[in-house]
Structure 1
Amino acid sequence: MAETSARDSAEEGGRNVGICGDGGAREAPAAGGSGSIPPPTNPLVTPLLTDMYQVTMAYAYWKAGKQNDRAVFDLLHRKNPFGGEYTVFAGLEECVRFAANFRFTDADIEYLRTVMPPVCEDGFFSFLKAVDCSEVDIHAIAEGSVCFPRVPLLRVEGPLLVVQLLETTVLTLVNYASLVATNAARFRKVAGHDKLLLEFGLRRAQGPDGGISGSKYCYLGGFDATSNLEAGQRFGIPVRGTHSHAFVSSYMSFDEIIDRKLQRSDGSSTCEDFVLLTMQCLKRMQGAPSLQHWFGETNHSELAAFTSYALAFPTAFQALVDTYDVLKSGVPNFCAVALALHELGFKAVGIRLDSGDLSYFSVESRKFFRAVEKEFGAQGFGNMVITASNDINEDTLDALNKQGHEIDAYGIGTQLITCYKQPALGCVYKLVEINGQPRIKLSEDVTKVTIPCKKQCYRLYGKEGYALVDLMVGDDESPPRAGERILCRHPFSESRRAFVVPSRVEPLYKCYWSGSSGAPREPLPSLEELREHCRRELEAQRSDHVRAFNPTPYKVSVSAKLYDFIHFLWLNEAPVGELH
């Protein structure tokens, strides 16, 4: 971890490098109009990363001559995760990378020949070899935005066969990314903006891709650093890490420390025996009247481990203090080493608590730090960083806030990276228009009824500057304007409607991929820009919409004209029953 203070002191770490992985023997796809857009981060994201039925449908479209029908699909979620009332949209860049580099290789085609039914004609495979996304348009809400159910996150438009083939892959690129980014944002909301949040999820993630993408999207959602070196290198995320319990318990005595010299921080002289200095500091602490009631004898093998670590990292000394006993051994041993470093001009970072009553231990540790600072005049000792870990979740953070604590930073792994409270977001990809004709998917479950036609979406803001409602309108409708009285209707409930006079209107969709048409498209922001955008988006929401517990539902509406059309099409498509 090596945090030097709370959240604001987190240093920038890592560096940006090429992130397109080793694709092995796989052929490089043709440019297909992709310009400078690199391939997806994970080399496994190829046209074959899809469900079998996408290719069987593609053959049926081709066989019927429908492959070039102009189709519009919406990618949306029906319900917010974790019992909340918002979702952070993530994964857009990877979707654009996938579209920009979409192309079947010869090896892909040969494999498909072996798994498709033998009745499939050779002409289909020849056609498939030439398929790319040069005629596809992708409009989307900006990545990192706060979004809400029913509002499409992506609108994908293009030849029916091609945009159908994109479905499974874009869903897998968006579902987990948005879920874990939302989880990270919720942890940030409960922890508070003054706390350092460290993502420790790699060892508990669902495989390497879950670990890499989880680190990336937790950072987007508001975490400050990761323990994952691969993610740090690929994405430029700051990395943190110190030592485990194994390091502490691997030491038996001071005899194992061979090189005991440590040069002062200013280089003016060298301490010949830092181990001796540490033991002297511990004895002075034990003899100090103001500290005698805190502890007695400590575990000397633990002290040896701390001393060895400080010799290795005198400018970044941080200790895990719960291997044996937090208050009777871990904290006093840490302070002895920290005092010895202080005498040589160094400043220790702090401690990590990984078990027990985190509230109590943090409060008592802070008291001890301040008592040592007062007793020995060690300036800044009382403000050393206290980091807490140990299977922390949202409820843990909320309980700590209510109990009172002295924790500056949290290391969070399992509950964050696995999205323990909810394993899937449940995005869907639905056809809403074909050759200019709106289509609707009906269901007895009204939450599964789709909103038909190609649409534009707008966010309407109130006079206090907060978002009031997201409004969907038909693509052929005039956009809403600030200061205009607008009737906003619930898409499926006749009585739920309201007039809104927005102080500001924000169009939500921008073009991020326009194929080879030459139409302008939005640049893909950096991860730092996405993270900042997410922060601003959350701040623009009313606090009751984004609070972790018992939030107020956010309103998603359609225009009066679109409402009428939805219900006209619904009645037109639904069969009329007969009673006998």
Structure 2
Amino acid sequence: MDEQNRDNGPKITKSIINAPTNPMVTPLLTDLYQFTMAYAYWKAGKHNERAVFDLFFRRNPFGGEFTVFAGVEECIRYIANFKFTEAEIDFVRDAMPGKCEEGFFDYLRQLDCSEVEVYSIPEGSIVFPRIPLLRVEGPVGVAQLLETTLVNLVNFASLVATNAARHRIVAGKSKMLLEFGLRRAQGPDGGISASKYCYLGGFDATSNVSAGRLFGIPLKGTHSHAFVSSFMSLDEILEKSLRSADGSTLCEDFVNLVQTWLNKIQRTKFYGGFGETNLSELAAFTSYALAFPENFLALVDTYDVLRSGVPNFCAVALALKDLGYKAMGIRLDSGDLAYLSCEARKFFQAIESEFGVTGFGNTTITASNDLNEETLDHLNKQGHEVDAFGIGTYLVTCYAQAALGCVFKLVEINNQPRMKLSEDVSKVSIPCKKRCYRLYGKEGYPLVDLMVGENEPAPKVAERILCRHPFNESKRAYVVPQRVEELLKCYWSGSSDKMREDMLPLKDIRDRCIRQLEQMRPDHMRRLNPTPYKVSVSAKLYDFIHFLWLNEAPVGELQ
């Protein structure tokens, strides 16, 4: 939605930031209790008190020990364009569980994020539990209204980007990964978001045309089984001519050229025993090649991969080769992918040897059919010849885990640290405004992420620092960092004059993700039994956490 379509545009004029990609991302995309709390804050005169909230998660997804952080740009777009329309205020008035004073709606009417500051870890970074991904500072009323939307924008984005990165790690750097999940995604926005963040997480292309337009993601796709089975015979091909790739000659009967090559293939020694191919499939391949001679990729499993699909593809590919074109390859969408890919590779290599077609043995083999991380791992162990994987359902739905579990916790109000306690230690929050650092060791790998109080000195290179587990007294270690990186950077400065980070193009964010994955120690990234990455606090912050814990926790009385 263009910002002029909103009744009241944002007051912030530092620079124009586009509206959220999804027009449903408005101030109403939140939970009702955010409005009831906002009214209670306003009624108590607390709505303008300065608060600090941390957005973080407690556990890495998919049984792993890393997460890819995504969704920052959409969060900033939302914050920059945060403004209620009159229609939205009217709806809130009717939706509130009780009658509210009209002054509250006047408050909502003038509300924006000009007094809010947002600090974030850069999008595409590798992140870990408890470290604040976003720190939101501002009047408690508006900051509270941001909570649900920010969590929503980060949660799925980070989950699916992490899922994509895990698939990339298993597949290896050399394989092409294609996201084919739109038809199985949870609704239109699930499909669009998945395409964007799968690309961020290391995928190479998508079949989603809308995502390609919105985000500049490369598009890939061929035909379906319906196209193959829609042909009955070669007689259906009415326009048979095809001009050569350089435009110098015209082949008046490309169909005959394809049939000639099929006959040659069928007379070779390596073809013996395969029998006749399905000629309606041959007609479909030939027709598709006539339509897209520079991008001919055939789905070869409609009838029989080895007895029909692969030989028919080769006949069409060799006919294209005669006219100066290079066929792109085949796609396998069913069956034993390891076995079929190996047999298809042997067939291509035999064609290269028999007819002297240089490079034909390296013809690209793409595999699809409900692939997931585990399937890729099994294929690697079995041995396969697949060059590219088209992955859909298990990738975009994050089938292995429903949600990342991000939370948004108040850690400070009016400069007073606040802390949420729980009998479940994993749910105890770390109080106060914090600065976060990544400490690197001698081999260049990150060793630990460290949180310190806002006013503590930053850790220094080559200077020993005590890093402590936030809650476990015995877990502590000295670290002498060889490099120190501050994690949180200002991405929205409101009306202040603070410099803020630029939003990078999606391709650059993807490059950051891939680069950071390569920088991590391999044992943190492995699929089975990964080594937990250390997240720590300074000794001073550790002491303060436990001091505040004791002060806030009620003291029991035994009788």
Question: TM-score over 0.5 for the alignment?
Answer: yes
Verify the 8 A CA contact 2:3 2:81 in the aligned structure 1: no
Aligned-pair CA distance for 1:83: 0.3
Verify: 1:459 aligned to 2:438, yes or no: yes
SS at 2:409 equivalent: strand
Q: 2:292 aligns with which of 289, 297, 313?
A: 313
Q: CA deviation at 1:517?
A: 1.2
Q: Tell whether the 8 Å contact from 1:290 to 1:375 is kept in structure 2 after alignment.
A: no
1:42 equivalent in alignment to 2:22: yes
1:136 aligns with 2:80: no
Aligned partner of 2:228 in structure 1 is: 248
Structure 1 residue 546: deviation in Å?
1.1
Structure 1 counterpart of 2:40, from 21, 44, 60: 60
Match of 2:423 among 444, 454, 468: 444
2:351 paired residue number: 372
What is the CA distance between 1:518 and its match in structure 2? 2.1
Cα distance 1:524–1:22, how it changes in 2: closer, same or farther (>3 A)? closer
Q: Distance in 2 between matches of 1:271 and 1:28?
A: 62
Deviation, 1:270, is 1.2
Could you tell me how far 1:232 is from its partner in structure 2? 0.3
What secondary structure does 2:62 align onto? Answer: helix
- Per-residue deviation, 1:69: 0.5
In structure 2, C-alpha distance between the alignment counterparts of 1:341 and 1:447, rounded to whole Å: 62
Partner residue, 1:12:
none
What's the secondary structure of 1:339's corresponding residue? helix
Instruction: Give secondary structure in 1 for the equivalent of 2:118.
Output: strand
Partner of 1:410: 389
* 1:221 counterpart residue number: 201
Structure-2 separation of matches of 1:390 and 1:434: 52
Cα drift, residue 342 of structure 1: 1.2
Change over 3 Å in CA distance of 1:175–1:159 after alignment to 2: same
Partner of 1:401: 380
2:155 maps to which of 175, 183, 186: 175
Counterparts of 1:433 and 1:370, CA distance in 2: 66
Offset at 1:414? Answer: 0.4
> CA shift at 1:32, angstroms?
2.5
- Tell me how far 1:321 sits from its aligned partner: 0.3
Task: Provide, for residues 104-163 of structure 1, a one-character-per-residue CA deviation record: whole Å limited to 9, x for no partner.
Answer: 111111111111244310111001100110010000111100000000100000001010
Residue number in structure 1 paired with 2:277: 298
Hey, what does 1:70 align to over in structure 2?
A: 50
- Relative to the length of structure 2, the TM-score reads 0.99
CA distance in 1, matches of 2:361, 2:120: 49
The reply to whether residue 579 of structure 1 matches residue 551 of structure 2 is no
8 Å CA contact 1:109, 1:129 repeated in 2: yes
The answer as to 2:474 corresponding to 1:474 is: no
> Is residue 2:142 matched to residue 1:166?
no
2:127 to 137, 144, 147: 147
| Cα gap change, 1:569 to 1:505, in 2 (>3 Å) | same
Give the letter aligned to residue 514 of structure 1: S
Task: Give a deviation string over 1:155-193, Cα, whole Å, max 9, x none.
Answer: 000001010000000000000000000000000000000
1:403–1:117 distance in 2 versus 1, CA, 3 Å: closer
Give the deviation of 1:346 after TM superposition.
1.3
Query: What CA deviation, in whole Å up to 9, does each residue of 1:521-544 have, x standing for no partner?
Result: 111111011001111111111011
TM-score by length of 1: 0.95
- How far apart are 1:31 and its partner, in Å? 3.2
Match of 2:179 in 1: 199
In structure 2, the partner of 1:89 is 69
CA contact (8 A) 2:3 2:18 kept: no
The CA deviation string for residues 422-481 of structure 1, in whole angstroms up to 9 with x for no partner, is: 010000000000100000000011000000000000000000000000000000100100
Q: 2:327 is matched with which residue?
A: 348
1:319–1:351 CA contact under 8 A, matched in 2: yes
**In the alignment, which residue of structure 1 is the partner of 2:89?**
109
Q: Alpha-carbon deviation of 1:510?
A: 0.5
CA contact (8 A) 2:11 2:114 kept: no
SS in 2 for 1:575: coil
* 1:566 matched to 2:540: no
In the alignment, structure 1 segments of 5+ residues that lack a partner are: 1-20
Question: Hey, what's the Cα distance between the residues in 1 that align with 2:140 and 2:3?
Answer: 28
Is the 2:11–2:112 contact (alpha carbons within 8 Å) kept by the matching residues of 1? Answer: no
1:184 corresponds to 2:164: yes
- The alpha-carbon distance between structure 1 residues 34 and 94, as it changes in their structure 2 partners (threshold 3 A), is farther
Native 8 Å contact 1:248 1:306 kept in 2: yes
How far residue 578 of structure 1 moved from its aligned partner, in angstroms, is 1.2
The DSSP-based 3-state class of the residue aligned with 2:385 is coil
1:81 is paired with a residue whose SS is: coil
Q: Equivalents in 1 of 2:258, 2:336: separation in Å?
A: 28
Aligned partner (choices 32, 38, 54) of residue 12 of structure 2: 32
Structure 2: distance between partners of 1:24 and 1:37? 13
**Distance in structure 2 (CA, Å) of the matches to 1:113 and 1:373:** 73
1:323 to 2:302 alignment: yes
- Contact preservation (8 Å) 2:38, 2:47: yes
Contact 1:69 1:160 in 2 (8 A): yes
- Work out whether 1:339 is the aligned partner of 2:309: no
Residue 429 of structure 1 is matched in structure 2 by 408
| Pairwise CA distance, 1:290 | 3.4
Contact 2:70–2:123, Cα closer than 8 Å, also in 1: yes
Q: Does 1:121 pair with 2:101?
A: yes
* Match in the other structure for 2:470: 491
Counterpart AA for 2:554: P
Q: Is the 8 A contact 1:40 1:94 kept in 2?
A: yes
Matched residues in 2 for 1:395 and 1:567: separation?
Answer: 42
**Cα distance in 1 between the residues matched to 2:523 and 2:408:** 30
In structure 2, runs of 5+ residues without a counterpart are none
Q: Distance in 2 between matches of 1:234 and 1:119?
A: 42
Does the 8 Å contact 1:183/1:416 carry over to 2?
A: yes
Alignment check: 8 A CA contact 1:33 1:515 kept: no
Cα distance in 1 for partners of 2:162, 2:554 equals 40
Question: Is the partner of 1:488 in helix, strand or coil?
Answer: strand
Q: Which amino acid aligns with 1:453?
A: C
Which amino acid is 2:204 matched to?
D
1:68-99 Cα shifts (integer Å, max 9, x gaps): 11100000000000000000000011111111
Aligned-pair CA distance for 1:337:
0.7
Superposed, 1:6-25 pairs within 5 Å as: 21=1
* Partner Cα separation in structure 2 for residue 122 and residue 179 of structure 1: 41
Once the two structures are TM-superposed, the CA of residue 369 in structure 1 deviates from its matched residue by 0.3
Paired amino acid for 2:293: P
SS at match of 2:419: coil
Residues 25-68 of structure 1: per-residue CA shift (max 9 Å, x gap): 64252332452211111111000000000000000000100011
Distance in structure 2 (CA, Å) of the matches to 1:92 and 1:25: 23
Name the SS of the counterpart of 1:361 in structure 2. Answer: helix
